């Protein structure tokens, strides 16, 4: 699959300085319908007004937990070496509770608050209260951030199961596009498992839900909600040639978010596995045919780094990873996400394609954080 090549908003869909900032790089409805009309999907008798009532119910249920987030950051001043300037960035967020942890948190995107200290972050609630977080956790690689609030009587949205989200299901998006707080839009899940999307260079873990619900600058960090009133994603980016909504938006699945949040709260950081390879950014039909494969599926290795689990296992440049522990690898992003989610020290079995035949190798998963620290030390020498 070809990587999306479009203009993607940075803030990815946040507002920078109260204006639009662009970066060049990107590139349960079935039960709800049964309750509303009792007719099968697509039936002409489906009552549109009843669907509208369901939208209204979900918006009323979740909106109190949706917040606006503003952050003041210091950035290098253009044309003035050594000097900085203040930049205001705004986005959205949703109030959540985490099982096993006390308090209420704001769930948002890292790019909304990145490089802003807690005292420079402002959270505006639906009831017009203005709060500042007492602590901030962030994971730049997935673009997830969590802010702890110290206040009473805070609402919280329910977190759903994004694995159950299906293409074609209705969803709502709530946020603060262009600074217009509590804006509600609707659409459907357009696709799942979107990874071929080029975003901020720090964002490595990508497995988005795609939606046509209107997402605009300022919507970053706002919730994507199913018809049961549960958050199933965090709105993060839009693909657009103009910078405005074009019906192609991307949301981080909430199940991925929950795994990240649990590690941030328990350990203060996210532990990820790694092998030590660089995979090709895409694997096209022509590449597959040239290698003797009958389908363009898998992850093509471009580089194997020395003294890594991959080199120890015997992986080579131009190998294609077809399976990991018996699970078919769809593409390069699926492979990256799969390896990242494995436990450090875990032994895995890789089925690869090499010289027009399949073979199996075993590898032991390494520690991504430790490897990055080593690479940085080597770079600084």
For every residue of 314-375, DSSP letters joined together read T--TT-EEEEETTEEP-SHHHHHHHHHTSPTT-EEEEEEEETTEEEEEEEE-EEHHHHHHHH
The reply to whether 192 and 257 lie within a common domain is yes
Q: Report DSSP letters for 225-278, one per residue.
A: E-TTSEEEEEEEEEB-SSSS--S-EEEEEHHHHHHHHHHHHHHSS---EE-SEE
Question: Could you list the active site residues?
Answer: 111, 143, 220
pTM: 0.80
The one-character DSSP state at 19 is B
CB 151 within 8 A of CB 131: yes
CATH number at residue 153: 2.40.10.120
The reply to whether 286 and 258 lie within a common domain is no
Residue 77 clears pLDDT 90, i.e. is over it = no
Output the pLDDT for position 78. 79
Q: Is residue 19 a part of any domain in this protein?
A: yes
CATH number at residue 372: 2.30.42.10
Overall domain count for the chain: 2
Output the pLDDT for position 9. 45
Q: Is residue 268 a part of any domain in this protein?
A: no
The one-character DSSP state at 179 is G
- Give CA–CA dist 329/248, Å, rounded: 25
The boundaries of the domain holding residue 287 are 273-380
Q: Give Dmax (Cα) for the chain.
A: 71
Instruction: Give 30's strand partners.
Output: none
- Give CA–CA dist 229/105, Å, rounded: 18
Per-residue pLDDT, averaged over 69-76, amounts to 89
Output the pLDDT for position 12. 56
- Give CA–CA dist 291/280, Å, rounded: 14
Residues found in the chain: 381
The reply to whether 242 and 325 lie within a common domain is no
Q: Report DSSP letters for 46-81, one per residue.
A: --HHHHHHHHHHHHHHHGGGEEEEEEEEEEEPTT-T
Structure tokens at 288: 């597959």
183-230 pLDDT tens trace: 999 999 999 888 766 655 567 777 899 999 999 999 999 999 999 999
Measure CA of the first residue to CA of the last residue in the chain; give whole Å: 39
Q: Is residue 81 a part of any domain in this protein?
A: no
- Give CA–CA dist 233/206, Å, rounded: 13
Q: Which of 154, 206, 216 is nearest to 330 (CA)?
A: 206
The reply to whether 202 and 286 lie within a common domain is no
217-274 pLDDT tens trace: 999 999 999 999 999 999 998 877 666 677 889 999 999 999 999 999 999 999 999 9
């Amino acid at each position: 699959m070809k990587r999306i090549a479009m203009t993607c908003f940075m803030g990815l869909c946040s507002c920078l300085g109260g204006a639009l900032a662009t970066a060049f790089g990107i590139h349960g409805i079935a039960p709800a319908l049964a309750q509303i009309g009792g007719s099968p999907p697509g039936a002409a008798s489906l009552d549109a007004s009843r669907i509208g009532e369901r939208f209204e119910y979900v918006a009323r249920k979740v909106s109190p937990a949706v917040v606006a987030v503003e952050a003041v950051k210091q950035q290098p001043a253009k044309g003035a070496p050594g000097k900085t300037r203040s930049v205001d960035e705004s986005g959205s967020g949703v109030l959540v509770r985490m099982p096993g942890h006390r308090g209420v948190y704001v769930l948002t995107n890292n790019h909304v608050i990145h490089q802003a200290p807690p005292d420079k972050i402002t959270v505006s609630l639906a009831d017009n209260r203005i709060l500042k977080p007492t602590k901030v956790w962030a994971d730049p690689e997935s673009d997830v951030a969590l802010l702890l609030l110290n206040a009473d009587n805070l609402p919280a949205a329910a977190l759903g199961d994004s694995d159950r989200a299906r293409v074609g299901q209705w969803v709502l998006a709530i946020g603060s596009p262009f600074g217009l707080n509590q804006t509600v839009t609707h659409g459907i899940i357009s696709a799942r498992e979107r990874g071929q999307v080029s975003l901020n260079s720090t964002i490595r873990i990508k497995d988005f839900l795609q939606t046509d619900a209107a997402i605009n600058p300022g919507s970053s960090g706002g919730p994507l909600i199913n018809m049961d009133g549960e958050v199933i994603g965090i709105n993060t980016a839009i693909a657009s040639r103009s910078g405005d909504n074009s019906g192609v938006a991307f949301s981080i699945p909430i199940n991925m978010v929950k795994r990240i949040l649990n590690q941030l709260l328990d350990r203060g950081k996210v532990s990820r596995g790694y092998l030590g390879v660089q995979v090709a950014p895409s694997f096209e039909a022509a590449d597959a045919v040239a290698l003797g494969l009958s389908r363009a599926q898998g992850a093509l290795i471009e580089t194997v780094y020395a003294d890594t689990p991959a080199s120890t296992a015997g992986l080579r440049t131009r190998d294609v990873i077809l399976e990991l522990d018996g699970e078919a690898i769809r593409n390069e992003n699926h492979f990256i996400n799969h390896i990242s989610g494995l436990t450090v020290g875990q032994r895995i079995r890789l089925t690869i394609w090499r010289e027009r035949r399949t073979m199996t190798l075993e590898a032991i998963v390494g520690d991504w954080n430790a490897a990055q620290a080593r690479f940085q030390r080597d770079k600084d020498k």
